[in-house]
Amino acid sequence: SYAFCEISGYTEKELIGKPQNIVRHPETPKAIFHDLWKTIQSGKTWKGEIKNLKKDGGFYWVEAVISPDFDDNGEIVGYSAIRHDITAKKEVEELSQNLEIKVEERTSQLKESQKQSESILSSVLLPMLITSKNTRKIVYANEFAEKQYETTMKELIGLDVDALYTSENQKEDILKELNSEGKVTNFESKFKTLKENQFDALFSLVDIKYEGEDCYLGVASDITEQKKRELLFQELHKHIKESIEYASLILSLI
């Protein structure tokens, strides 16, 4: 399909007739493909996440649903696959996993000077806010947060973080998610910009010390479009499953 060619970097002509492993990434464990083939060859549907290789040597992640196709005699004659691009999601997950290590490694440096700490934090290429636990005011925002919340860094600094929440109980819900041991906590939540536009975000939150003050560091990645695609993906998968079940029922009545 056009979408597959666009993400993989290959042309349709380069892909037609080629084995599937042309996009197999060397870091993907062989056990995944063993489980995949074992599942679909047994007549069942396989679902999982796969890291694929681009033509230019880069990579992308897909969530794949692969189902066997049957003939009138119930024999497997082929396989159908639906792939959903989750590269952005996996990149956020990887960032979240590394964020805790980065915070621990940089804590002593963060105490040295505001200039140095902001240089470290700006290396994270996602919207980032640091909020004082005591005042609930935003004490740091990077340039990516300006675009995310449709405002300027000047307006964000000193703003009560509650202004970005979409409901009155969201504060309590977010604090419940925070691990009391100071580990990075990842979850999905809705936020709003200063122009009152709402968006879904994959949110990472952790306790840190910033300029000697107890704070929360939050990193948000807008997944609004991804959520829409996931809903469409789920509906498509449900429709395919219902169609297969209906076809099986018709065949059983013949």
Structure confidence by residue, pLDDT tens digits, 180-221: 545 667 788 889 999 999 998 888 888 888 888 888 888 888
| Residue 126 to residue 102: CA distance in whole angstroms | 15
Query: What distances in angstroms separate CA 107 from CA 110, 175, 176, one per listed residue?
Result: 5, 22, 24
Higher pLDDT, 114 or 46: 46
pLDDT band at 103 (very low <50, low <70, confident <90, very high): low
CB burial of 68-103 (b: ≥16 within 10 Å; e: otherwise) equals bebeeeeeeeebeeebbbbebbbebbebbeebbeeb
Model confidence, pTM: 0.48
The stretch 57-69 carries a mean pLDDT of 87
Amino acid at 187: F
Cα separation values, 141 from 33, 206, 208, Å: 43, 15, 15
Q: How many residues does the chain have?
A: 254
Q: Is the pLDDT of residue 250 over 70?
A: no
Cα–Cα distance, 39 to 245 (Å, whole number): 18
In degrees, rounded to 5, the angle at the alpha carbon of residue 95 between the alpha carbons of residues 59 and 164 is 120
Nearest to residue 47, comparing CAs of 200, 233, 227? 233
Q: What is the mean pLDDT of residues 99-128?
A: 62
| Pair of tokens at residue 214 | 């107890």
pLDDT bucket at 83, cuts 50 / 70 / 90 = confident
pLDDT at 95 over 90: no
Mean pLDDT of the chain: 80
Amino acid identity for residue 62 in this structure: V
Give the whole-angstrom CA distance, residue 149 versus residue 140: 14
Sign of CA dihedral 58, 38, 93, 234: positive
- Phi, psi torsion values for 63, nearest 5 degrees: -100, 120
- 1 DSSP assignment: -
Helices (H), 42-138: 87-110, 114-121
> Between 157 and 247, where is the model more confident?
157
pLDDT band for position 253 (50/70/90)?
low
Higher-confidence position of 88 and 134: 134
